[in-house]
């Protein structure tokens, strides 16, 4: 291990690299880098075990730069440890791998996108939990800024990490006192921070964050703790420069004509010869997910029930598949996993932001997670979901109790914006099954796709439409009813497909033939194939959805009609206003998305 003198030299070089890179870029956060330089030197060159030639080695110690604006010093540490060989002065340029905030698409050493503050600790929790599940001895380190300690999601992670006894999770708070616009809430009140984190059941260590000896001692103590550890490092923003601990320098690069003057305020040593400690590696496991036979259904069943059964069979067949739930598992039916594979069920309690952050961390560590809660409550975790998409993550999210069809529970429990949320994400897939067979098939299909996958399930039981041998290709739709004499197409998803089928039967009794289409895959979607079918079956379309208009299924279809210059006519039925408590039947009628409304919409075309 390098000497304390050598680690001090490394810290000085990391500071110089950060100044030079941000000045070359003309933007960035150099003072935020300087406050954590000693911490980074001790971590990367004194404490962490990793193979610089193998970023995806499952036994590497993991590091998350939760304060993502300090990306330049992360790049410096990776460069100086020979993990990367990029030109540090290419920071923030169009074709550079060194983006303004860390992004996995650019560097394999960056596991998750950071920069939206308060999320790194949840991700670290997920990574540490994955190591426990796979019985690996590596540790996960999370560097937090003190400004982000005001984020509620940090405390969601704190309470669960201690509950799960994740002693392989080590958080370091860079308490440099200054935020973007001025002092932080507690400034340098380390004792208040300490009392706060101790109350969450963590081992808490307080140090001078610029004293290498104290940093190394704290890391050694943390490694022996039986609980997760929070190291509170008192630091100074802009450490080493004449502007240290001065407000007004957040996010400001040193001007080029002043760079030499500031560099002269820092030591300029040669980089010492150091050897990174390699981890003890265990053999990699086969991560290919096996798809077991789906369950039989003869009686009506809710898609949420089918989701739970599908998830349970997936977990039984694959030890790397886990279920997470925000304490509504008896409603989402992810509780089915607990009945047979208790170790593969993770209760995150009522903390949806933490739920998604943990799922992201698990997914980056060889585990395939299914995260479940009510669709309405996923909006609380929108930013975590967005950041997971930016992290090129692959996992499945299930939102149950979607739409007004949940009935009497009322508007606060009704997911009516979730489709738009997930459609807008890059590289996402959105599924809305209408019966238990399609739900099981689509639940399995999500494990074979990249990106964030969303399954929307409904509360009420619905009839079984399909057979076990039916297939549900990604991006396609299902023609449930159709003839050569169709006057129109009635399209629905989930609960509204059954309303479309009822409307079809009513119109048929009046001598009007219609096709019925199940839009089970909302994204991706074979637009041209659908329009070709539509134009061959009357050129008139009614789309009914248990969702808001904005960003929903109807808007998706409308944009396709415009894109392909179709002359087909369309009526779009959707939920308007704020729903009231009532029965499913009453609410579908009130909001004009039931079979009667579909019939009337057809007549208006």
520-562 pLDDT per residue, tens: 999 999 999 999 999 999 999 999 999 999 999 999 999 999 9
433-463 pLDDT per residue, tens: 999 999 999 999 999 999 999 999 999 999 9
Q: What percentage of the chain carries pLDDT values higher than 70?
A: 100
| Model confidence at 286: pLDDT above 70 | no
> What value does the mean pLDDT take over residues 383-392?
98
549-560 pLDDT per residue, tens: 999 999 999 999
Closest listed residue to residue 130, CA positions, set 179, 103, 164, 177: 164
Closest listed residue to residue 156, CA positions, set 326, 396, 323, 328: 326
3-state secondary structure 561-586: HHHCCCCCEEEEECCCCCCCCCCHHH
Closest listed residue to residue 575, CA positions, set 457, 345, 419: 419
Classified by CATH at the fold level, domain 478-604 comes out as Rossmann fold (3.40.50)
> What value does the mean pLDDT take over residues 283-290?
80
Decide whether 303-456 matches 478-604 in CATH topology.
Answer: yes
Instruction: For residue 352, indicate whether it is catalytic.
Output: yes
Q: Are 153 and 384 in contact (CB under 8 A)?
A: yes
Beta strands in 274-410 (DSSP E): 321-325, 345-347, 368-374, 395-400
Count of CB atoms situated within 10 Å of the CB of 340: 12
Average pLDDT, the chain: 97
345-373 pLDDT per residue, tens: 999 999 999 999 999 999 999 999 999 99
> What value does the mean pLDDT take over residues 198-210?
98
Q: Would you state the pLDDT for residue 340?
A: 85
Confidence of residue 465 (pLDDT cuts 50, 70, 90): very high
Classified by CATH at the fold level, domain 4-263 comes out as Rossmann fold (3.40.50)
What is the Cα–Cα distance from 339 to 334, expressed in whole angstroms? 10
Burial of 411 (0-12, 13-18, 19+ CB in 10 A): middle
Q: Would you state the pLDDT for residue 412?
A: 97
Q: Are 186 and 193 in contact (CB under 8 A)?
A: yes
| Model confidence at 285: pLDDT above 80 | no
Confidence of residue 280 (pLDDT cuts 50, 70, 90): confident
For 103, residues 6+ apart whose C-beta sits below 8 A from its C-beta are 110, 113, 390
Q: Are 438 and 521 in contact (CB under 8 A)?
A: no
Q: Where are the domains of the chain?
A: 4-263, 303-456, 478-604
594-605 pLDDT per residue, tens: 999 999 999 999
Confidence of residue 199 (pLDDT cuts 50, 70, 90): very high
Confidence of residue 287 (pLDDT cuts 50, 70, 90): confident
Q: Are 413 and 376 in contact (CB under 8 A)?
A: yes
Beta strands in 189-245 (DSSP E): 203-208, 229-234
> What value does the mean pLDDT take over residues 230-250?
97
| Model confidence at 283: pLDDT above 90 | no
The catalytic position among 47, 305, 352, 440 is 352
* Whether pTM exceeds 0.75: yes
Confidence of residue 1 (pLDDT cuts 50, 70, 90): confident
CATH class of 303-456: alpha beta
| Model confidence at 187: pLDDT above 80 | yes
């Amino acid at each position: 291990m390098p000497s304390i003198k050598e680690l001090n030299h490394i810290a000085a070089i990391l500071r110089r690299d950060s100044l030079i890179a941000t000045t070359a870029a003309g933007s960035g956060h150099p003072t935020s880098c300087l406050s954590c330089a000693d911490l980074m030197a001790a971590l990367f060159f004194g404490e962490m075990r990793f193979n610089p030639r193998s970023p995806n080695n499952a036994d590497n110690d993991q590091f998350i730069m939760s304060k993502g604006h300090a990306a330049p010093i992360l790049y410096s540490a990776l460069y100086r440890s020979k993990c990367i060989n990029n030109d540090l002065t290419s920071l923030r340029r169009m074709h550079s791998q060194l983006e303004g905030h860390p992004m996995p698409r650019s560097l394999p050493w960056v596991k998750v996108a950071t920069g939206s503050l308060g999320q790194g600790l949840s991700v670290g929790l997920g990574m540490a939990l994955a190591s426990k599940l796979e019985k690996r001895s590596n540790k996960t380190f999370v560097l937090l800024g003190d400004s982000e300690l005001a984020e509620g999601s940090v405390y969601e992670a704190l309470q669960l990490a201690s509950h799960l006894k994740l002693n392989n999770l080590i958080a370091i708070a860079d308490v440099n006192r200054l935020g973007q616009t001025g002092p932080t809430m507690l400034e340098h009140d380390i004792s208040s921070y300490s009392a706060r984190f101790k109350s969450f059941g963590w081992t808490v260590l307080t140090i001078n964050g610029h004293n290498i000896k104290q940093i190394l001692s704290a890391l050694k103590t943390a490694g022996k703790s039986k609980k997760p550890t929070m190291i509170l490092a008192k630091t100074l923003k802009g450490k080493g420069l004449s502007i240290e601990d001065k407000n007004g320098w957040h996010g400001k690069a040193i001007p080029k004509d002043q760079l030499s003057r500031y560099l002269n305020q820092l030591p300029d040593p040669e980089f010492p010869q150091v050897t990174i400690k390699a981890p003890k590696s265990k053999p990699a496991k086969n991560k290919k997910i096996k798809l077991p036979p789906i369950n039989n259904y003869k009686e009506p069943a809710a898609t949420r029930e089918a989701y739970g059964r599908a998830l349970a069979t997936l977990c039984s067949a694959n030890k790397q598949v886990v279920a997470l739930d925000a304490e509504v598992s008896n409603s989402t039916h992810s509780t089915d996993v607990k009945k047979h594979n208790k170790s593969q069920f993770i209760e995150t309690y009522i903390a949806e932001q933490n739920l998604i952050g943990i799922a992201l961390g698990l997914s980056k560590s060889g585990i395939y997670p299914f995260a479940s809660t009510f669709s309405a409550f996923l909006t609380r975790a929108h930013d975590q979901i967005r950041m997971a998409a930016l992290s090129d993550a692959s996992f499945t999210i299930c939102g149950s109790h979607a739409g007004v069809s949940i009935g009497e529970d009322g508007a606060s429990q009704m997911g009516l914006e979730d489709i738009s949320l997930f459609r807008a994400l890059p590289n996402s897939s959105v599924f809305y099954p209408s019966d238990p067979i399609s739900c099981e098939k689509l639940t399995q299909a999500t494990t074979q796709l990249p990106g964030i996958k969303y399954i929307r399930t409904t509360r009420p039981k619905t009839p079984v439409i399909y057979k076990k041998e039916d297939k549900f290709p990604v991006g396609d739709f299902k023609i449930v009813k159709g003839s050569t004499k169709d006057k129109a197409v009635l399209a629905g998803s989930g609960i509204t497909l059954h309303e479309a089928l009822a409307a079809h039967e009513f119109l048929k009794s009046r001598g009007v033939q219609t096709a019925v289409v199940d839009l089970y895959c909302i994204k991706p979607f074979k637009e041209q194939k659908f329009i070709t079918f539509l134009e061959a079956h009357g050129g008139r379309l009614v789309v009914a959805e248990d969702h808001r208009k904005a960003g929903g299924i109807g808007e998706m279809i409308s944009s396709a009609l415009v894109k392909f210059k179709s002359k087909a006519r369309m009526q779009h039925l959707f939920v308007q206003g704020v729903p009231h408590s009532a029965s499913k039947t009453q609410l579908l009628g009130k909001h004009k998305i039931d079979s009667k409304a579909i019939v009337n919409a057809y007549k208006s075309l």
